[in-house]
Structure formats: structure tokens, C-alpha cells
């Protein structure tokens, strides 16, 4: 009998596989993205110190919806917060999600706002 895996399990496997090579340092922290059904979350994380440097989400924005424009707003907000914390360069961690749609919109907006990755 063929074992079927669900989406969460597949995403979790992809994320674990990527995290072997992607880690944040104090000079270049990790920009981690999580996409739920209703919201989009982004964190800038220094893995060496196990500290979150900056965080932004659609929950903070009190955004109506979870589309491309909201993802772009979160990208701009996380870039502004990271720059305020003294971070200009990050490593992008897409969290096992495809680099497409809302994830790509967030990344592009963060780049436009001045984050380098």
C-alpha cells in the first residue's frame, strides 16, 4: 500500500532539508517566512544567539485578507524593522514553501525596501 503524505509533512521535510545549509549569523541573520491559511509571518533571526531581531506579520498590520498586496506590506515592514535594528543583509529562508506568489511578493518588497539577500 502506498503511503500518502500531507502538505504540512512535505513542507516540513523540505524545510528541514533547506535548514541544513541556511542559518543566520549576527552579521547576516536569517529572514524566515511562514504562510498560514489566514496570515503571513516574517522574522529576522540570529541563529547564533537564538534571538529574533525583528518580526512582522499581517496580524500586526490588521490587514483584511492575505493576498499579494498584504505580503508586500509585510515585506516592507520587516525590511524597515530590520534596518532600524542595524541589519542590512539577510539570508532568505522560504520555510519549505515554493518561491512563488505571496512568498515572492514578500521577498521582492523587502529587497525594494533595502534589504540585501
Closest by CA position to 78, among listed 105, 50, 57, 52: 57
Which residues, other chains included, contact 38 with Cβ-Cβ below 8 Å and sequence gap of 6+?
58, 66
Give the pLDDT of residue 21: 83
Give the pLDDT of residue 2: 60
Q: If the chain, 117 residues long, is cut into consecutive pieces of 10 residues, what is the mean pLDDT of each piece?
A: 75 88 86 94 94 96 89 97 96 94 97 95
Give the pLDDT of residue 52: 96
- Cell 541556511 belongs to residue: 22
Give the pLDDT of residue 35: 94
Question: Three cell numbers at 107?
Answer: 521577498
- Helices and strands in the chain, H and E counts: 4, 4
Helices (H), the chain: 7-19, 58-61, 68-84, 102-112
Give the pLDDT of residue 60: 93
Give the pLDDT of residue 38: 92
Question: Three cell numbers at 4?
Answer: 500518502
Cα–Cα distance measured from residue 78 to residue 110, given in angstroms and rounded to the nearest whole number: 7
Give the pLDDT of residue 25: 80
Give the pLDDT of residue 97: 93
Give the pLDDT of residue 34: 96
- What three-state secondary structure class fits 115? coil
Amino acid at each position: 500500500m502506498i503511503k500518502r503524505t500531507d502538505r504540512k509533512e512535505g513542507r516540513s521535510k523540505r524545510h528541514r532539508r533547506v535548514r541544513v545549509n541556511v542559518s543566520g549569523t549576527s552579521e547576516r541573520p536569517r529572514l524566515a517566512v511562514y504562510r498560514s491559511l489566514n496570515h503571513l509571518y516574517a522574522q529576522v533571526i540570529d541563529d547564533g544567539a537564538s534571538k529574533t531581531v525583528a518580526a512582522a506579520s499581517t496580524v500586526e498590520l490588521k490587514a483584511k485578507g492575505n493576498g499579494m498586496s498584504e505580503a508586500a506590506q509585510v515585506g516592507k515592514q520587516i525590511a524597515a524593522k530590520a534596518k532600524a535594528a542595524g541589519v542590512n543583509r539577510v539570508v532568505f529562508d522560504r520555510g519549505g514553501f515554493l518561491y512563488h506568489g505571496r512568498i515572492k511578493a514578500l521577498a521582492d518588497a523587502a529587497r525594494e525596501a533595502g534589504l540585501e539577500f
